[in-house]
Amino acid sequence: MLELVTISALNGVLYGMLLFLMASGLTLIFSMMGVLNFAHASFYMLGAFFGFQISQILGFWPAFLVAPVLVGGIGALVERYGLRHVHRHGPVAELLFTFGLAFVIEEIVQMIWGKGPVDYRVPAALDFSAFTVFSTNYPAYKMFELLTAVTIFAVLFTVLKRTRVGLIIQASLTHSHMVAMLGHNVPRVFMLVFGVGTGLAAVAGVIAGPALVTQSNMAGALGPILFVVVVVGGLGSLAGAFLASLLIGLVQTFAVSIDLSVADVLGGIGVAPPTGGVLLDVWNVTVAQIAPIIPYLLLVLILIFRPTGLMGTREH
């Protein structure tokens, strides 16, 4: 039992940190431009596929550095030539633009790499077990993922809170007109933030690709979870996104390892099982099976009872 808890906690924190790598960019972009970037998970997927393709040619480490830069560049171009153009049509058009972009990126990935998973492997240098908890070997690659995520998290906070660039970005979030008056190129700051945000998502893609499955549905599977994270955390709040990432990461990881159903609980105290129909499905469903639903339940509950999110200040 203790073994299960320890391993699940480690995996949950890791998953949560990966989520935060993406959610941080998403929430920064949202608070700056008021656009909830539907295509954010698509940039994560592009990161994984670019990482795979570059690692085929140059090896894993160059891919680890080059792929996020490339994807971030694509993100910056999307902002410069797409979003900025759509901005004058209003927020719905912006949201729909990113929605269409997510659709197109998925199709392009399918067109180039096919629908099946690609053979993106953990690099040989990291393919060993780091330590043994009870009887389970914990892979070193997961520790590398965790380390990368924590490092980026630290760098991001330092840059935002302690440097001049971070100061300008923070000021642009709330007083973009004033920042422009002071002679800063606010559209360029937007482009930079969009580029860095999508680049961070790509980092998550590059390091998560070998551990998870790299295939064309990975964006569609993760995108909604990402929205759950930023909405539950509070739109525009980095600290909230951090908290919600860890929460969702831990909840989902623990849920999949619990093999308990209504039948076990109620059946244990002597309630007879239902004879058939939908109730029988509910009766036999285990917590592990409903794990995919939990984040959405959380989202709906949060939006009903605390629409600003855990740490949000504004109601949108």
Q: Which residues bind another protein (CB under 8 A)?
A: 36, 82, 85-86, 89-93, 95-97, 99-101, 103-104, 107-108, 110-114, 220, 224, 227-228, 231, 235, 276-278, 280-282, 285, 289-290, 292-293, 296-297, 299-300, 303-304, 307, 315-316
Beta carbon nearer to another protein, 38 or 141: 38
CB of 290 to another protein, least distance (A): 7
Beta carbon nearer to another protein, 91 or 267: 91
CB of 17 to another protein, least distance (A): 23
CB of 105 to another protein, least distance (A): 9
CB of 281 to another protein, least distance (A): 5
Written as six digits, the tokens of 53 are: 């393709």
CB of 50 to another protein, least distance (A): 15
Beta carbon nearer to another protein, 130 or 263: 263
Do 44 and 219 form a contact (C-beta atoms < 8 A)? yes
Beta carbon nearer to another protein, 88 or 164: 88
Beta carbon nearer to another protein, 77 or 280: 280
Find the Cα–Cα–Cα–Cα dihedral 268, 296, 203, 49, rounded to 10°: 90
Do 20 and 232 form a contact (C-beta atoms < 8 A)? no
Q: How many of the other CB atoms lie within 10 Å of CB of 127?
A: 12
CB of 112 to another protein, least distance (A): 5
Beta carbon nearer to another protein, 104 or 239: 104
Beta carbon nearer to another protein, 34 or 139: 34
CB of 94 to another protein, least distance (A): 9
